[in-house]
């Protein structure tokens, strides 16, 4: 998860993801700072922006399986408005 402490969406998402990972030994959660890793977020832009939180799902060989951005399209439109 690419995240920063000031991210309100992350504050809502991280507790759920953390609990999920705690209860499943096949999962682990690593949090990476957006500000300290600009090159990493540039690989995973959302509509051309550095939107966070950004979940990057990796397999056991660190290959990207998928990414996820938790804010819905409707909520994104409301924030932009």
User: In which band, very low, low, confident or very high, does the pLDDT at 81 lie, cut at 50, 70 and 90?
Assistant: confident
Distance CA 5, CA 59 (A): 26
Q: Are 71 and 9 in contact (CB under 8 A)?
A: yes
Stretch (H or E) spanning 68: strand 64-68
Judged against a pLDDT cut of 80, whether residue 36 lies above it is answered with: yes
Q: Are strands 55-58 and 64-68 parallel, antiparallel or unpaired?
A: antiparallel
Distance CA 32, CA 36 (A): 8
Instruction: Say how many domains are in the chain.
Output: 1
Range of the domain at 57: 2-80
Rounded to the nearest integer, the mean pLDDT of the chain is: 89
């Amino acid at each position: 998860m690419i995240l920063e402490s000031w991210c309100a969406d992350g504050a809502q998402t991280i507790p759920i993801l953390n609990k999920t990972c705690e209860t499943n030994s096949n999962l682990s959660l690593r949090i990476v700072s957006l500000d300290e890793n600009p090159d990493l977020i540039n690989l995973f832009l959302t509509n051309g922006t550095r939107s966070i939180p950004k979940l990057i799902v990796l397999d056991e060989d660190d290959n990207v399986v998928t990414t996820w951005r938790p804010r819905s399209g409707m909520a994104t439109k409301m924030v932009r408005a």
